[in-house]
Amino acid sequence: MNESHSPSSSTTNVLITGGNKGLGLETARRLGALGWRVFLGARDEARGRQAAERLAADGAHVTFVPLDVTSDDSVAAAVRTVSDSTDRLDVLINNAGITGELVGPADTLPRHLVPVLEVNVVGPVRVTHAFLPLLRAGHDPRVVMISSGAGSLTITSDPERKESTFPHLLYPPSKAALNMITTQYAKALPGIRFNLADPGFTATDLNGHKGTQTVTEGSDVIVELATTSPGGTGQYRDRDGSLPW
């Protein structure tokens, strides 16, 4: 466990999957700077611990949580780790995601698609389900799913949008599925706010750092939904406002 001093019982508790780099790490840094208790989840234990130590050195309340969203056992262990420190989770940010192989639609096989769905779709369901008891005990509980404009049928059909110029059977369908899953959670569980964040084209490992936004700009909408959830629940937003489905 890597943490600074113990937070008070009124502190907001947040778990971030894929928190060791990119948008996850920047979100952890920003929420930690607000005085939140950050549970930093990461599959890579060495990198996760290093990230947590860096945040703790800056004064954040942070605990590293080994967390592989594709593993039932890992997620169950993560629940135990968080439960050892608190009896509630106020915010869950399902950030972990992959793009998959750069293979064209005509050459895409199930073996290409399955790993992406396992991380980007099944992973958030696995983590959300496991943490529901702690979320239900939280203060105004919120779940933020990290989606993309590539998951919008409207945006990917618009020739003026960059998302429409790269046909891919892996990442866009996974985010479209995540969008639908999130709206269904929002309808079924009104006591928890479920919202979708599109960080935009942000420079991260996911795109080889070709993105035009900084991680701070990309995390703006994540932080907004984590802290205030404008519009309540079932929202799909980027840093400029609501997005079309």
Give the residue numbers marked as catalytic: 171, 175
Question: Distance (Å, rounded) from C-alpha 33 to C-alpha 114?
Answer: 37
Which is nearest to 21 in space by CA: 97, 78, 82, 76? 97
Question: Distance (Å, rounded) from C-alpha 116 to C-alpha 114?
Answer: 5
Question: Distance (Å, rounded) from C-alpha 29 to C-alpha 25?
Answer: 6
Question: Distance (Å, rounded) from C-alpha 196 to C-alpha 76?
Answer: 24
Question: Distance (Å, rounded) from C-alpha 69 to C-alpha 47?
Answer: 16
Question: Distance (Å, rounded) from C-alpha 173 to C-alpha 60?
Answer: 36
Q: What is the DSSP letter of 20?
A: T
CA 223 to chain centre: 11
Q: Encoding tokens for residue 218?
A: 């990309």
Q: Encoding tokens for residue 194?
A: 């479920």
